[in-house]
Amino acid sequence: MEVIRTPKAMQQRALELKREGCVIGFVPTMGFLHEGHLSLMRLARARCDVLVASIFVNPAQFGPTEDLDAYPRSFERDEALCEREGVDIVFYPDAGNMYADDASVWVDEESLSGVLCGVAREGHFRGVCTVVAKLFNLVQPGLAVFGEKDAQQLRIIERMVRDLNFPVDIIRGPIIREPDGLAMSSRNKYLSGRQREDALCLRKSLDQAEELFGLGERDAKVLRQAMADLIDPVPGAEIEYIEIVDDASLAAVDGINGVVLAALAVRFGATRLIDNAMLHV
């Protein structure tokens, strides 16, 4: 397994592979890998000749009060997991190599990014789109895999690929959960024992929405309230949002007719967790 540290070297290697006729599969990550990331690598591995995973904690997607410095990192552990999953190349740059000191060009999505997580995390998706566009230019993938847990991010990347004509097939990877239902996330390590237990209310609230939907409830307000009623009594939980939105436009809906996304963000102390479930008639 190769480890490449600079953008120039990564792009040169990718162009060599493309000249050889290789299909490059790509899984971008911020490291501190868990089973959710590894499941994405397996999806890509089955569809490509050469698998590239990036490990880069992207400063451009963190706000001034967010957890950039504290974000968990363990490259040696991540490297071993990538090798175990059959990754051929790990791209592991640092911020100084990825962004010029006077960088002034950004990729900004102006529709899907203004709701859900985009309300509280101003500039976050500009940072995401910019770094993913840069990574696509460096890695030259024919396909890339993104997880459904970050549902808004996934749909924004799909829109960016469509609107900017990137020759990349985007593959959706399902949410991977702990045995008790908590969606896997690198940020779960921040939770205390009590917060970890409290965080199970996210999955329980989505289960409640799915159950009511299965019984025929189509009023989004009723589903949102049912979800809130399960989370509000949890002492350490602070709801940032609970929304029922159209799966394609991410616009809030009143009644469910088609495919929608039940999405929520909840804070437990300083730790912000997200989760979602798709509902469709």
CA 257 to chain centre: 26
Let me know if residue 180 belongs to a domain: no
Tell me, yes or no, whether 181 lies in a domain.
no
Tell me: the pLDDT tens digits for 210-266? 999 999 999 999 999 999 999 999 999 999 999 999 999 999 999 999 999 999 999
Rounded distance, CA 93 to CA 71, Å?
Answer: 16
What count of other Cβ atoms lies within 10 Å of the Cβ of residue 83? 13
- pTM for the whole structure: 0.96
Residues 275, 211 share a domain: yes
In a domain, 92, yes or no: yes
Q: Output the six-digit token pair for 256.
A: 């469910």
For residue 220, being part of any structural domain is answered with yes
Same domain (yes/no): 230, 137: no
Domain count, the chain: 2
> pLDDT tier at 281 (50, 70, 90 boundaries)?
confident
Size of the chain, expressed as the number of residues it contains: 281
- Rg of the Cα trace of the chain? 19
Q: Which domain holds residue 67?
A: 2-173
Task: Give per-residue pLDDT as tens, 179-216.
Answer: 999 999 999 999 999 999 999 999 999 999 999 999 99
Catalytic residues: 37
- Tens digits of per-residue pLDDT, 69-103? 889 899 999 999 999 999 999 999 999 999 999 99
In a domain, 79, yes or no: yes
Closest CA to 197 of 159, 240, 235: 235
pLDDT in tens, 47-76: 999 999 999 999 999 988 888 988 989 999
Q: How many other C-beta atoms lie within 10 A of the C-beta of residue 14?
A: 23
Q: Which residues pair with 90 in a beta bridge?
A: 3, 53
Neighbours of 179 (CB within 10 A): 5
What pLDDT is recorded for position 38?
98
Return the amino acid letter for 174. Answer: P
Residues 135 and 242 in one domain: no
